[in-house]
Amino acid sequence: MRLRKLGSSGLFVSELCFGAMTFGGSDGLWGQVGKLGQDDADTLIGAALDAGVNLFDTANIYAHGRSEEILGRSLKNLGVARDDVVVATKVASSMGDGPNRGGASRLHILSECRASLRRLGLDHIDLYQIHAFDPATPMEETLEALDTLVRAGDVRYIGLSNWAAWQIMKAIGITRARNLAPITSLQAYYTLVGRDVEREIVPLLASEQVGLMVWSPLAGGYLTGKYADGGHPEGARQTELDFPPIDRVRGEPLIRVLKDVACKHDRSSAQVAIAWLLKQPVVSTVIIGAKRVEQLRENVQATEVQLDPDDMARLDSASHLP
């Protein structure tokens, strides 16, 4: 597994990050995303570490805090040295009833950071991300609260997630003008069936040297090809939950080309879809999700796939350009 710099920071992260969104769900939305318990999590985290992954992503909202608890417990169960891993989590989603239990206000960020540290069982978070833009809070308040956390030693780096280009650029301007902790990374959805970020976000991140952390790189499993020709594999996420949403009619030709390219390299469609993302210069890391260790082992081998210019051209012309 190769390492890349996260944006312009000095932080080295593995080119694949393990996403813990499948940990701890019981019912409802989080149950549909994944119901993995501690033993499964230990197995997956152990396999990710063995493959060279050093970056682990979760969020306070994933299974209402259970994902953070399970991830933190796994790192302890596996005896991982704290400085050998980079732990990323997020804040801003609503964690309960009441107007101040969500959002990106100073009050919520400072209290939820403490709660995340407690759930993770850590004394600092390496990358703390604002999960979504909060139109109700002045950006200055959010960025100053994050700066407070960095100066207090609770957080090492700050990142954003799912912000529009103008919001990111405004935030960068504020951190520079006020000498606040810089924005290191952005999490965004980016796949061969979802290339909207190429319009504004990718050029912005390249220009400002902010690292892109790609989420849902397989479009929730769709790019594995297992839903081709109207397939609905039982128990698989995209059968139950259309997330991220996919235009399946436009996706079918791409799925065929993915399969062709995969056959040429004696690889799987999932590996080619991830390898295509790894060829994009602005990408610092691709956050892979897996429910089973076999899926994880397959996905990490995407780092060995060498796509040539002909493969890239075929995938580009079959995919959904913005």
Binding site for ligand NDP (CB under 6 A): 19-22, 34, 57, 161-162, 187, 215-221, 224, 226, 236-237, 270, 287-291, 295, 298-299
Distance separating alpha carbons of residues 55 and 246, to the nearest angstrom:
27
Q: Name which of 157 and 215 has its Cβ closer to ligand NDP.
A: 215
| Residue 87 contacts residue 125 (beta carbons within 8 Å) | yes
Min separation Cβ 237 and ligand NDP, Å: 4
Min separation Cβ 69 and ligand NDP, Å: 15
Distance separating alpha carbons of residues 157 and 245, to the nearest angstrom:
30
Both tokens assigned to 236: 């698989």
Q: For this structure, is 62 an active site residue?
A: yes
Q: Name which of 182 and 217 has its Cβ closer to ligand NDP.
A: 217
Question: Which residue among 62, 128, 222, 227 is the active-site one?
Answer: 62
Distance separating alpha carbons of residues 271 and 304, to the nearest angstrom:
9
Q: Name which of 175 and 299 has its Cβ closer to ligand NDP.
A: 299
**Ramachandran sector of residue 24 (left: φ over 0; alpha: ψ -120 to 50; beta: rest):** left
CB atoms within 10 A of CB 134: 19
Min separation Cβ 287 and ligand NDP, Å: 4
Distance separating alpha carbons of residues 41 and 70, to the nearest angstrom:
7
Both tokens assigned to 272: 């080619």
Min separation Cβ 179 and ligand NDP, Å: 27
Q: Name which of 9 and 23 has its Cβ closer to ligand NDP.
A: 23
Distance separating alpha carbons of residues 140 and 9, to the nearest angstrom:
22
| Residue 220 contacts residue 244 (beta carbons within 8 Å) | yes
Q: Name which of 9 and 133 has its Cβ closer to ligand NDP.
A: 133
Min separation Cβ 52 and ligand NDP, Å: 18
Q: Name which of 34 and 251 has its Cβ closer to ligand NDP.
A: 34
Distance separating alpha carbons of residues 78 and 187, to the nearest angstrom:
27
Min separation Cβ 297 and ligand NDP, Å: 9
Min separation Cβ 68 and ligand NDP, Å: 11
Task: Give the type of residue at 22.
Answer: T
Among the listed residues 62, 80, 76, 118, the one whose alpha carbon sits nearest the alpha carbon of residue 289: 62
b/e 212-235 (16+ beta carbons within 10 angstroms → b) = bbbbbbbbbbbbbbbbbeeeeeee
Q: Name which of 103 and 221 has its Cβ closer to ligand NDP.
A: 221
| Residue 108 contacts residue 94 (beta carbons within 8 Å) | no
Among the listed residues 61, 64, 55, 121, the one whose alpha carbon sits nearest the alpha carbon of residue 90: 61
**Residues with a known catalytic role:** 62
